[in-house]
């Protein structure tokens, strides 16, 4: 038999250190990092680092050897090498002051595409959708980033475009399932083709950019995520029957409702003067486009083309009218249902409305929201649109009605009275006003005033929350995470329990009173009890007989006894004794566990215990707080 | 060429030299010297030389220049002609050839200067080409006349010279070589030859002829006035060595070029000129010492200038005039491409990102496949919890103390990277400072963090508990304490039930043995056996039902008693049994005594003890810790751990005889017990339980419970299973058919296990520990050999209190019922019943 050499098979062969990998690929470390990010190659933790490292225990990063081998013939790596050569040539040309040469070189710089890599990493669409969380969060972050020397304006612009396209899709298809406003930002969850996709959007403030962050890494990720999202969006749009990428198609826009309508709409969309019809079938591709457009581009359009804007108005008005009709239609539909219900009968099950998803999709469809300018529009707008509601934004209306004629001289020609009339018509349909102020000077009768949290909570609960708790200036009920506590504590459960307890306490008090009365009666009952005792004895004899029979049949005593106890177990103290016994038995059974099982069991118990203690701590804290509150109330 | 000429000129000058040391000097210097010595001759010679060759070259001028230059010096040194001049020459010889040229050029320039002032030497006027333009004809004329001059001069010189004159160039015959004869030292005529005048072809003037004395050391000539011989065999005179005064003078007024060195070859002072010193310096520095001009003008061999005589005279080729077909082809290709639209000239610039087409990447609609085994998907971000809300329930808000601890902990150690905060409304929520950083860290995690597949167990922890039959189905077993036997002062160390199950005997630290009625807990009999208050370590009823013998040990003594609690019949029988031994001892005693000293002494008790019911006292050598009866009640073993090889003793009641079965000690013996029905003895030492076959007197097996220190063991009534208890809290079950290692090792007591015990009829066993608990187990041993014993924990009996970290010391099962007796350190014995 041949002597087996050490470190020739197994972990030593399966894993490769990073240095080895870099050498094998003949790349710089930075290029290696990039290709790893693109290809999704990650270090592994081998079961035994010593075996993988050929006997050395020095801390090392290991990669799976086959991953690296797979990289060897990656076309993108060749592009990296080309780029190295290109960079050298360019720097030489620039160093020589050879501008034209440098320009030519720059025009023909080696480029690479990541589509093949996307396809490799995600063979099916569902795979890709499953991995969208990080991509979306990163894109939304860059969309909110200030442009700097590290992050160019183009990067942020592209990211913003993609984000808008994504939101437009989610809103149009009404896929939003959860919203959670946290201190970090807003978490959304959408249901895309059966996959839960969650992403985090920062609040619309300039981001704090730490200086010690290596943006090259982030930008490499962003590059991949951009490609990924482009292809995913293409597929999703096509599946939904929309053209992707949504482009400004003037001819089509004319066909649908005139270019002005398009501009109006986009303006509304972007500046959120919008009212997207809740009849989604009517949403045109141009509208989708408009959603995707950034504010700046649209505004530019508007400013560049005052004539068209002027012309646009009547057309836009027409469009609005159309929308109005649609709205009324849908409204009719929704109002009609309860009418018929009341008229005909109480229970007419609506098959579409039964599933909670369907309920969510049309949760706000009968309503038109007027959003105050102090409310963060991006959050509220997406949520309302995705729930089927209609949005009119105060800030956009302001921009529409009050144009500073000094700044925009063309605005002088605009007929503001006509606009005002148009807006008045629009405002007549408003059912809810979303408002985030301590108080409002004047209220429009017929409108329901709510704080923005009402929308989020309604979505998370899947039903319309009572409006009074969310009224202007009211102390809001806590905003709970739709994903729960994560450690088993449910604040609402506690609330319920407290209520139940209170009720019980009241009942007990009543019972005590009754008992007192009973004591008087008991003396009379003694005689009766004596009779009962005889009966009990008879029962016991019978039971004994039954036990014997059961034993003869081979039924375990415990089972019969347990069943008996269950029959008997009306009294509370006995129940606790049973529990005690069960616990004791458990303890006894633990004796017979093997060491391994014991360890595992104890670990699990530790985790459970930790959760329990946290839960208890929160509960006690809650009780304390409530007591304090009650105390305060009493004092008052 | 020119050089040659010069050399010849020098040669001729040399010829004119009168002194012997004509060689070993450098040309120019030599020349100057000779000039100095014979100014007129030299002048002539110069004339001759120049004219002879028909060349007026620079070298010639140089010579002249040298003349003029050295003029003053020569005059100065005129007096000491031979001496000083010789030195110069020798010195010069030390310098290499290359210097010559250098010097030559230098001198040239010097000459130019000199020529400016040159009127000092009027003689030169005619000859100097630069000064006066002479007719070529005139020069020729001069040269013609020179030949005659030379001959004339030679003859004259040779005649006048004291030394031998040089032979003429023209002489061919040997005889002609002899110039004249002189009288030698022997008085004979000695021919004196002409100087050898080498032909031009043999001219060795290039070869330095400095050293003609050969390699003979100078010291060889110390006694002579000369230092060697020149090529002609003439003496080379020693250069005059300056007197002390001279050298002093030399040192004071340093002559030009003075170095203080002495020429090794000539013995004269080594003087160097400025130029020579420069040269030496250059050589030392490794610079180019030669006369090389590093910045010479380039010669453009191939230039833009059209030469009258070009390098190549080939006519201009046709291709220079005809348009290129190849180029035309290539251009046509491009034209075609443009026509086809493959090349679009002046294409409008598009952003490269925009031109990348976006298409349906998943058009093939692959079926979802199982990912590769080695692929580990990145873990998703944790979902936000209630406490991250901008408006969380109030109980989530941290207290001040929590905030402080959070601030104090390192960011890496924090459980969550944020503190819950509550905002009254949405508009008050500020930005999150660490948003970018968190996303960055997530990116780092994605590509940098080693991933490992962790299989999370999503099982109910209770499913880990072994499936065991419910204790309820294994009844009866003791569950409660029904009788407590109080009376002992101090610990109760021993407990035993009589075979009928009616009487309980206990022994304790108060040195008494007590007997109790089992059911009532009434103390019936008591005997204080221990002298000096030694604790009763062990109490055991004899298994013989009809004898009623109770064995107790206290200190080194074993007491066999007959408690007066049985009927007369039993009592009589017991007395007979015990008394029979005395007789036996009387009969066989002497024989035994001869053999060896007895390990024990069987004695009759004192009257005090007799009155208490003790019939026999066995005196051992060490403290007896345990007694165990044989099943028939005739034999019993005693264990005294300190007894070494006498630790285990086997006593025979009927013969009052004691045997020590072991010759050697096997360690500290803890317990010893007989097999329930076979002639086998089990002995437990600290670590092992050894099984001895008494019939063959051999060791059959040694069990290794794996404990550090065994406290006790017991044998299953069937004899093939053993349980052990140890001070390191372990209880082990050994199946003797399986292995010497335990079948199960259980660890459930928190303190040392003191005693383990099998029930003799029911499949029960128990362990008692210092933690005050008694654990009762069910242990079924199946007849089927393939089935392992079934162990089921039934009950933990809690009742004894722990006193001085001692709990339950001894347990004993009731012979018939599922009852358990226990003796505790709290001074009580207890009966546990079902």
Task: Determine contact: A398 vs chain B, CB below 8 A.
Answer: no
- Could you report the per-residue pLDDT of A152-193, keeping only the tens digit for each? 999 998 898 889 889 888 888 889 999 999 999 999 999 999
Q: Under an 8 A CB cutoff, do B393 and A480 touch? A: yes
**Alpha carbons A229 and B551: distance in angstroms, whole number:** 92
Is A187 part of the contact surface with chain B (CB cutoff 8 Å)? yes
pLDDT at residue A558, as a whole number: 55
Question: Are B388 and A45 an interchain contact pair (Cβ–Cβ within 8 Å)?
Answer: no
DSSP β-ladder status, A390-393 and A368-371: parallel
Q: What is the pLDDT of residue B37?
A: 39
**What does the pLDDT read at residue A428?**
87
| Cross-chain residue pair B461–A604, CB shorter than 8 Å | yes
**Residue B449 pLDDT grade (very low, low, confident, very high; cuts 50, 70, 90):** very high
* Reported confidence tier of residue B235, pLDDT bands at 50, 70, 90: confident
- For chain B, say whether A193 makes contact (Cβ under 8 Å): no
Lowest-confidence segment of B29-38, B725-734, B750-759 by average pLDDT: B29-38
The per-residue pLDDT for range B393-428, each reduced to its tens digit, is 988 999 999 999 999 999 888 888 899 999 998 989
B353/A158 CB distance under 8 A: yes
pLDDT given at position B129 = 43
| pLDDT beyond 50 at A16 | yes
What is the predicted pLDDT for the residue at B158? 45
Model confidence over B681-724: pLDDT tens digits?
Answer: 999 999 999 999 999 999 999 999 999 999 999 999 988 899 99
The whole-number pLDDT of residue A409 equals 66
* Phi, psi of B522, deg, nearest 5: -90, 135
Is residue B62's pLDDT more than 60?
no
Q: Looking at beta carbons, which residues of chain A come within 8 Å of B792?
A: 592
Residues in chain B closer than 8 A to A210 (CB atoms): 436-437
pLDDT score, position A549: 72
Q: How far is A598 from chain B (nearest CA, A)?
A: 8
- pLDDT tens digit sequence for A383-434: 998 898 888 888 777 777 776 666 666 666 667 788 888 888 888 889 999 9
pLDDT digits (tens, 9 = 90+) for B559-577: 998 888 888 888 888 888 8
Question: Which whole number is the average pLDDT over A611-621?
Answer: 90
The residue among A461, A511, A503 whose CA lies nearest residue A481 is A461
Q: From edge to edge, which strands make up the β-sheet containing B536-541?
A: B536-541, B550-554, B557-561, B614-619, B601-603
For the beta sheet containing A195-201, the strands, ordered from the edge strand earlier in sequence to the opposite edge, are A176-181, A186-192, A195-201
Q: Which of A18-27, A131-140, B778-787 is predicted with the least confidence, judged by mean pLDDT?
A: B778-787
| B834 compared with A76, residue with greater pLDDT | A76
> With bands split at pLDDT 50, 70 and 90, how would you rate the model's confidence at A310?
very low
* Phi, psi (degrees; rounded to nearest 5) at B615: -105, -35
Q: Does the pLDDT value for residue B55 go beyond 50?
A: no
Highest-confidence segment of B175-179, B185-189, B694-698: B694-698
**Chain B residue numbers touching A61 (CB-CB < 8 A):** 450
Which structure tokens are listed for B314?
A: 């080939």
pLDDT of amino acid B722? 94
* 3-state secondary structure (DSSP) of residue B543: coil
Region class of B189: left (phi > 0), else alpha (psi between -120 and 50), else beta:
beta
Whether the CB of A496 is below 8 Å from some CB of chain B: the reply is no
Each residue's pLDDT tens digit, B522-532: 999 888 887 77
pTM across the whole model: 0.60
The closest of B212, B225, B220 to B266, measured between CA atoms, is B212
Q: CA–CA separation, B542 vs B591, rounded Å?
A: 29
| For residue B40, pLDDT beyond 50 | no
Torsion of CA B641, B646, B651, B656, to 10 degrees: -130
> How high is the pLDDT of residue A396?
76
Burial of A541 (0-12, 13-18, 19+ CB in 10 A): exposed
| Cβ–Cβ contact A183 with B under 8 A | yes
Cα–Cα distances (Å) from B379 to A134, A197, B445, B489, in that order, read: 11, 14, 10, 68
**A388-402, A473-487, A514-528, B515-529: range with lowest mean pLDDT:** A514-528
Q: Residue B767 to residues A277, B143, B711, B797, B826: CA-CA distances in angstroms?
A: 81, 147, 11, 10, 18
User: Could you say which residues from 431 to 470 on chain A have a Cβ atom under 8 Å away from some Cβ of chain B?
Assistant: 436, 451-453
Selected residue of B411, B435, B475 to mutate for chain A interface (largest A Cβ count, 10 A): B435
Residues 130-169 of A with CB under 8 A from B: 131, 133-134, 137-138, 141, 145, 158
A242-265: average pLDDT: 43
- Contact at CB, A182 and B390, closer than 8 angstroms: yes
Buried b / exposed e along A580-610 (16+ C-beta atoms within 10 A): eeeeebeebbbbbbeeeeeebbeebeeeeee
Greater pLDDT, A275 or B605: B605
Question: With 90 as the cut, is the pLDDT of residue A86 above it?
Answer: yes
Q: Compute the average pLDDT of residues B773-784.
A: 91
- The three-point CA angle B504-B509-B510 to 5° equals 85
DSSP SS3 for A442: coil
Quick check: B394 and A622 CB within 8 A? yes
**Measured between alpha carbons, how far is A454 from A465 in angstroms, rounded to an integer?**
7
Q: Which residue has the higher pLDDT, B64 or A169?
A: A169
CB contact under 8 A, B360 and A590: no
Partners of residue B426 in chain A, C-beta under 8 Å: 181, 375-376, 436, 451-453
Contact state of A44 with B447 under an 8 Å Cβ cutoff: no
Residue in the structure block whose two tokens are 């006369």 = B291
The stretch A25-34 carries a mean pLDDT of: 94
How confident is the model at residue B198, as a pLDDT?
64
- Minimum mean pLDDT among A201-215, A354-368, A540-554: which range? A540-554
Mean pLDDT across chain B, nearest whole number? Answer: 77
Mutate to test the interface with A, among B368, B373, B393 (most CBs of A within 10 A): B393
CA distance B197 to B165: 11
Q: Which of A588, A605, A611, A626 to mutate to test the interface with B (most CBs of B within 10 A)?
A: A588
User: pLDDT value at position B691?
Assistant: 94
Q: Read off the pLDDT band of B265 (50, 70, 90).
A: confident
Who wins on pLDDT, A164 or A502? Answer: A164
Which stretch, A131-140, B105-114, B257-266, has highest mean pLDDT? A131-140
- The answer to whether the beta carbons of residues A312 and A258 sit under 8 Å apart is yes
**In A344-452, alpha helices (H):** 351-354, 356-361, 377-386, 394-401, 416-427
Query: Does A483 score more than 70 pLDDT?
Result: yes
Q: Which residue of A has its CA nearest to B474?
A: A557
Q: Do B426 and A33 touch (CB under 8 A)?
A: no
Q: Which of A68-72, A270-274, B392-396, B437-441 has the lowest mean pLDDT?
A: A270-274
Q: Which of A111-115, A291-295, A358-362, A542-546 has the lowest mean pLDDT?
A: A291-295
Nearest to A266 by CA among A328, A327, A316: A316
B143/B59 Cα distance (integer angstroms)? 17
Residue B302 pLDDT > 90 = no
A 509-528: CB under 8 A from B: none
Q: What contacts A188, CB < 8 A, 6 or more positions away?
A: A170, A176, A178, A179, A180, A198, A199, A200, A201, A382
Give the pLDDT confidence score for residue B87 in this predicted structure: 43
CB contact under 8 A, B791 and A592: yes
Report percent pLDDT > 70 for chain B.
73
Query: What was the ipTM of the complex prediction?
Result: 0.77
- Reported as a single tens digit per residue, the pLDDT across B503-520 is 999 999 988 999 999 999
More confident residue, A592 or B219: A592
Maximum alpha-carbon separation in chain B: 186
Of the two residues B72 and A619, the one the predictor is more confident about is A619
Buried (b) or exposed (e) across B671-704, using 16+ Cβ within 10 A?
bbbbbeeeebbbbbbbbbbbbbeeeeeeeebebe
Structure confidence at residue A443 as a pLDDT band (50, 70, 90): confident
> Is B385 in contact with A487 (Cβ distance < 8 A)?
yes
Q: Which of A123, A138, A180 sits opposite B369 (nearest CB)?
A: A123
Which chain B residues are within 8 Å of A133, Cβ to Cβ? 380-381
CA distances from residue B228 to B89, B217, B223 in whole angstroms, order as listed: 17, 9, 12
């Amino acid at each position: 038999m041949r002597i087996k050499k050490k470190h020739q098979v197994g972990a030593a062969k399966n894993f490769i250190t990073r240095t080895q990998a870099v050498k094998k690929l003949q790349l710089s470390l930075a290029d290696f990092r990039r290709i790893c990010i693109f290809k999704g190659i990650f270090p592994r933790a081998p079961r035994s680092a010593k075996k993988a490292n050929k006997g050395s225990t020095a801390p090392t990063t290991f990669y799976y050897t086959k991953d690296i081998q797979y990289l060897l013939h990656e076309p993108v790596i060749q592009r990296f090498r080309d780029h190295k050569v290109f960079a050298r040539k360019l720097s030489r040309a620039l160093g020589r002051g050879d501008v034209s040469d440098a320009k030519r070189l720059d025009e023909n710089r080696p480029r690479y595409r990541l589509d093949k890599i996307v396809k490799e990493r995600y063979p099916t669409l569902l795979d890709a959708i499953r991995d969208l969380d990080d991509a979306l969060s990163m894109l939304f972050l860059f969309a909110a980033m200030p442009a700097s020397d590290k992050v160019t304006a183009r990067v942020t612009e592209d990211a913003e475009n993609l984000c808008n396209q994504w939101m437009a899709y989610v809103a149009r298809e009404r896929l939003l399932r959860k919203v959670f406003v946290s201190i970090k930002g807003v978490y959304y969850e959408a249901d895309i083709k059966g996959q839960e996709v969650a992403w985090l959007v920062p609040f619309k403030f300039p981001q704090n950019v730490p200086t010690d962050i290596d943006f090259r890494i982030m930008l490499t990720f962003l590059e991949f995520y951009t490609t990924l999202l482009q292809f995913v969006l293409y597929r999703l749009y096509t599946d939904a029957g929309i053209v992707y990428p949504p482009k400004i198609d003037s001819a089509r826009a004319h066909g649908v409702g005139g270019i002005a309508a398009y501009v109006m709409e986009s303006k509304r969309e972007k500046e959120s003067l919008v009212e997207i019809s809740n009849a989604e079938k009517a949403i045109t591709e141009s509208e989708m486009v408009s959603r995707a457009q950034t504010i700046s581009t649209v505004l530019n359009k508007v400013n560049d083309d005052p004539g068209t804007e002027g012309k646009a108005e009547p057309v836009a008005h027409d469009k609005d009218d159309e929308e109005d009709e649609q709205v009324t239609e849908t409204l009719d539909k929704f109002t009609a249902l309860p009418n018929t219900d009341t008229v005909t009968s109480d229970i007419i099950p609506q098959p579409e409305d039964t599933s909670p998803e369907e309920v969510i999709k049309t949760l706000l469809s009968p309503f038109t929201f007027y959003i105050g300018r102090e409310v963060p529009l991006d959050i509220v707008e997406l949520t309302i649109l995705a729930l089927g509601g209609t949005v009119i934004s105060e800030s956009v209306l302001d921009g529409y009605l009050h144009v500073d004629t000094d700044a925009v001289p063309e605005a002088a020609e605009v007929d503001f009275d006509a606009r005002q009339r148009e807006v008045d018509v629009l405002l007549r349909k408003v059912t809810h006003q979303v408002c985030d102020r301590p108080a409002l000077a004047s209220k429009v009768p017929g409108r329901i005033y709510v704080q923005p949290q009402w929308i989020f909570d309604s979505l998370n609960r899947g039903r319309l929350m009572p409006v009074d708790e969310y009224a202007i200036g009211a102390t809001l009920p806590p905003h709970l995470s739709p994903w729960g506590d994560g450690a088993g504590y449910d604040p609402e459960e506690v609330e319920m329990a407290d209520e139940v307890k209170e009720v019980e306490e009241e009942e007990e008090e009543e019972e005590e009173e009754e008992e007192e009365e009973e004591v008087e009666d008991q003396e009379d009952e003694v005689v009766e009890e004596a009779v009962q005792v005889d009966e009990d004895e008879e029962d016991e004899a019978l039971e004994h007989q039954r036990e014997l029979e059961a034993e003869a049949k081979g039924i375990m005593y415990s089972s019969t006894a347990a069943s008996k106890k269950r029959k008997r177990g009306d009294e509370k103290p006995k129940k606790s004794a049973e529990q005690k016994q069960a616990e004791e038995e458990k303890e006894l059974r633990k004796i017979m566990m093997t060491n391994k099982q014991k360890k595992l069991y104890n670990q699990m118990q530790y985790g459970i215990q930790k959760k329990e203690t946290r839960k208890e701590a929160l509960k006690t804290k809650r009780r304390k707080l409530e007591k304090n509150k009650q105390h305060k109330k009493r004092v008052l | 060429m020119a050089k040659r000429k010069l050399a010849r000129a020098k040669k001729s000058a040399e010829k004119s030299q009168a002194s012997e040391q004509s060689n070993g000097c450098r040309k120019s210097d030599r020349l100057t010297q000779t000039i100095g010595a014979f100014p007129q001759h030299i002048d002539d010679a110069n004339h001759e030389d120049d004219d002879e060759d028909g060349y007026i070259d620079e070298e010639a001028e140089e010579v002249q220049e040298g003349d003029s230059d050295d003029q003053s010096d020569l005059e100065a040194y005129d007096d000491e002609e031979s001496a000083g001049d010789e030195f110069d020459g020798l010195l010069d010889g030390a310098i290499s050839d290359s210097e010559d040229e250098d010097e030559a050029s230098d001198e040239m320039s010097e000459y130019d200067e000199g020529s400016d002032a040159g009127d000092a030497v009027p003689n030169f006027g005619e000859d100097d080409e630069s000064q006066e333009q002479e007719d070529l004809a005139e020069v020729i004329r001069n040269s013609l006349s020179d030949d005659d001059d030379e001959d004339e001069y030679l003859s004259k010189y040779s005649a006048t010279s004291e030394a031998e004159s040089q032979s003429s160039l023209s002489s061919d015959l040997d005889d002609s070589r002899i110039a004249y004869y002189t009288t030698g030292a022997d008085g004979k005529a000695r021919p004196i030859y002409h100087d050898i005048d080498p032909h031009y072809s043999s001219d060795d003037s290039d070869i330095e002829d400095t050293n003609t004395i050969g390699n003979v050391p100078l010291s060889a000539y110390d006694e002579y006035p000369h230092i060697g011989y020149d090529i002609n065999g003439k003496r080379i005179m020693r250069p005059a060595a300056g007197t002390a005064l001279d050298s002093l003078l030399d040192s004071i007024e340093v002559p030009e070029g003075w170095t203080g060195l002495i020429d090794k070859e000539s013995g004269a002072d080594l003087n160097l000129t400025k130029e020579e010193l420069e040269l030496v310096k250059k050589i030392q520095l490794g610079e180019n010492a030669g006369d090389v001009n590093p910045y010479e003008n380039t010669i453009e061999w191939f230039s833009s200038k059209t030469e009258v005589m070009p390098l190549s005279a080939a006519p201009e080729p046709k291709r220079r005039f005809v348009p290129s077909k190849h180029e035309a082809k290539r251009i046509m290709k491009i034209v075609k491409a443009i026509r086809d639209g493959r090349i679009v000239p002046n294409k409008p610039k598009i952003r490269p990102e925009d031109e990348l087409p976006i298409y349906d990447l998943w058009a093939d609609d692959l079926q979802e496949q199982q990912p590769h085994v080695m692929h580990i998907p990145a873990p998703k971000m944790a979902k936000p919890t209630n406490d991250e809300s901008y408006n969380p329930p109030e109980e989530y808000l941290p207290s001040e103390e929590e905030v402080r601890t959070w601030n104090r902990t390192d960011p890496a150690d924090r459980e969550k990277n944020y503190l819950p905060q509550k905002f009254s409304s949405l508009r008050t929520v500020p930005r999150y400072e660490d948003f970018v950083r968190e996303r960055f860290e997530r990116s780092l995690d994605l590509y940098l963090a080693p991933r490992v597949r962790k299989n999370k167990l999503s099982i109910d922890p209770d499913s880990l508990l072994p499936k065991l039959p419910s204790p309820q189905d294994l009844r009866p077993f003791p569950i409660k304490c029904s009788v407590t036997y109080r009376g002992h002062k101090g610990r109760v160390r021993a407990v035993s039930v009589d075979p009928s199950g009616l009487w309980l005997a206990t022994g304790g630290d108060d040195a008494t043995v007590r007997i109790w009625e089992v059911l009532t807990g009434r103390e019936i009999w008591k005997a204080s056996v221990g002298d000096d208050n030694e604790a009763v370590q062990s109490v055991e009823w004899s298994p013989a039902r009809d004898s009623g013998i109770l064995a107790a040990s206290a200190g080194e003594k074993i007491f066999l008693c007959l408690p007066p609690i049985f009927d007369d019949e039993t009592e009589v029988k017991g007395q007979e049994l015990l008394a029979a031994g005395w007789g036996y001892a009387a009969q066989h005693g002497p024989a035994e005594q001869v053999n060896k000293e007895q390990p024990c002494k069987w004695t009759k008790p004192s009257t005090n003890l007799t009155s208490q019911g003790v019939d026999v006292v066995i005196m051992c050598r060490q403290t007896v810790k345990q007694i165990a009866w044989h099943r028939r009640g005739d034999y019993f073993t005693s264990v005294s751990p300190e007894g070494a090889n006498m630790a285990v003793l086997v006593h025979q009641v009927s013969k009052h005889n004691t045997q020590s079965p072991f010759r050697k000690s096997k360690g500290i013996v803890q317990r010893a017990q007989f097999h329930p029905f076979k002639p086998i003895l089990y002995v437990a030492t600290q670590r092992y339980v050894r099984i001895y076959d008494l019939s063959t007197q051999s060791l059959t097996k040694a069990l290794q419970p794996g404990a550090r220190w065994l406290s006790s063991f017991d044998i299953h009534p069937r004899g093939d299973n053993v349980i052990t208890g140890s001070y390191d809290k372990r209880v082990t079950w050994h199946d003797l058919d399986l292995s010497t290692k335990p079948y199960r090792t259980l660890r459930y007591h928190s303190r040392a296990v003191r005693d383990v015990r099998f029930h003799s009829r029911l499949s029960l066993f128990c362990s008692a520990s210092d933690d005050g608990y008694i654990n009762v187990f069910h242990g079924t041993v199946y007849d089927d050999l393939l089935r392992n014993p079934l162990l089921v924990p039934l009950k933990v009996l809690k009742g004894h209190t722990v006193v001085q970290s001692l709990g339950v010391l001894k347990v004993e099962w009731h012979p018939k019922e599922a009852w358990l007796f226990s003796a505790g350190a709290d001074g009580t014995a207890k009966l546990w019943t079902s």
